[in-house]
Structure 1
C-alpha cells in the first residue's frame, strides 16, 4: 500500500516535474554550456573558450551603465506600482454604488495586448504626440519624451506601471477584503484613527500579499523587454538599456551567443539573489495569523 501511494503521488507530480526539467533545468544547463563557448551562427562555428566570456563580462565598459539602468527601472517600477496599487485598492475597497465599474476600468489595461499598449503609448509620447498636444492646450511645451535621457526612463516606467498596476490592485483588494472587520471595530472603540488602523491592522494583515506582489513585480521588472524594444530601443545612448535588452542585442543583433548566454547567467543570479533576500525578509516583515 505504501508503494502504491508513493507511485500515485509521483504520477500526480510527473507533469509538473517534467515541465520543470524540460523548460527550466535543461535550458538553464544549456545556457551555462553555451556561455563556455563562442557560437557564431553566421560562420557556423562553435568553439570552446572556457571562462573567456566571464572575463569579458568583467571588462565590459557598458555593463555598469546597463546594470544601473536596470536598477533604476526596477526601483521606479516597484515603488510606483505597489504604492499606486495599494492606494487604489484602499480607495476601491468601499461599498459604493458603481464601484465595480471603477475596478474594471483600472484592471482593464492588464488584459490589453502588451505590444498594442506600448505602440499606442509610443505615439502618445512623441514630440508631436497626444501628451504634448494636451500640454500645449494649457500653454506648456512638452519635450520629446522618448528621446531625452532625462525623460526616457521615466516614460518607460510610467507606461509599464499603468499597464500592470491593475493586477497588484486586485491582489491587494482581495487581501483587504479578507481582513476581519472586528479588528477595525475594536480599534475604533480604543480610539485609533484611520491612519493608525491602517498602520497597525491593515499592513500587518496584508503583509503576505505585499511579499508576494513585491517578488512578482521585482522579477517582472528585471525581465522587461518589449517595452524597451518598442519605445526607446535602449536609447538615447544606453540610458534605457536594461539587462534583458542588452542580452538580446549581444545574442541576436551582434550574434555573440556565448556572451549573451553569460549575460543570461548574470540575470539568473541577480533574480535568484533578490528573491532569496525577500524570502528571508519575510521572517521580520510578514505577519502570519496562525
Structure 2
C-alpha cells in the first residue's frame, strides 16, 4: 500500500510571516514619515531660526507656533529677551515645544506644569498662552533673574529633578528668542507649500489677540478680505526710553515672524514688512528684498512698508 502525502502547514506559515513582515515595514515607514514631519526633518514643512554667525535651529510648524506664542506672551508682558530665552529653554527641555497631554505624574503642556502643584486646572495648563503667562509670572518674582545662570532661573520656577538639563537648551533658545522677539541679526523663515484651504482673517486676528493682546490689532478691518494689516508701533510695555526707529522695527519683525511661524496653521500665503517679503509655496521660502532702499543699523531695509506688517492669506 503506497504512502499518501499529508498536507503541510509550512506554506501557510510562510505566507503568514511574509504578511506580518510587510505590515511591519509599512508601519515603520509610516512612523518614520510622521516623525520626520513632527521634527521638521526631511523635505516636509519646516521652520528655521538663523543667527548672524551662521548658526541655525530647525523646528516643525507645530513647534514654531508654540515658540512664537511663548515669545509673544513674554514681550506683551514687558519681559526682556532674557526671560523669553529662559522660557524657551525650559519648554525645549520639558516638552521639545510640543503641547503634551501627558507627563510625569500629572505634568501637562509645554512646561509640564502640574495642576496638583497649583499651576492651574488641567485645561488651563494645556493652553499655551495660559501656561506661558504662568511661567513668566513665577519667573518675574525671582530677584534679579536676568543675571542668574539660565539653569538657576529655570529651576527656581520649575523645581525640576534634573536642573542642569536646561543648560544644553540655552544656545537654541537664545537663537529662537533673538529671532522671535525681532532682534537683529537673527532671522526666521519657514519652508512650506501653499495651502489648499482658504485663510480666514478673523482666525488670524483672534490668534494675534490671543498671543499679543487686543492692542496689537488695528481699529478697523482691512479693505481686502484676504489680508490682515498690522500697524507697527511699540507698546508701553516694550518701549524702554523714547521709542526710536530701531525699536519700532524690532516690533515689526516680531509680528512678521509670528505670522510666518503661524503660516501653516492659519493658511498664510505671504508676509511683507520693511521692504522684504516671505512667500509660501517655495522650496526654501527665504525672505527676499522687494526694494533697494538703504538699510539701517539692524541690517534690514527701512524702506517701503516699515510702518505696517502685511499678512496675505490663501484665497
TM-score normalised by L of structure 1: 0.28
TM-score normalised by L of structure 2: 0.27
Higher percent of residues as helix: 1
Higher percent of residues as strand: 2
- Greater relative contact order: 1 or 2 (C-alpha under 8 angstroms, separation 6 or more)? 1
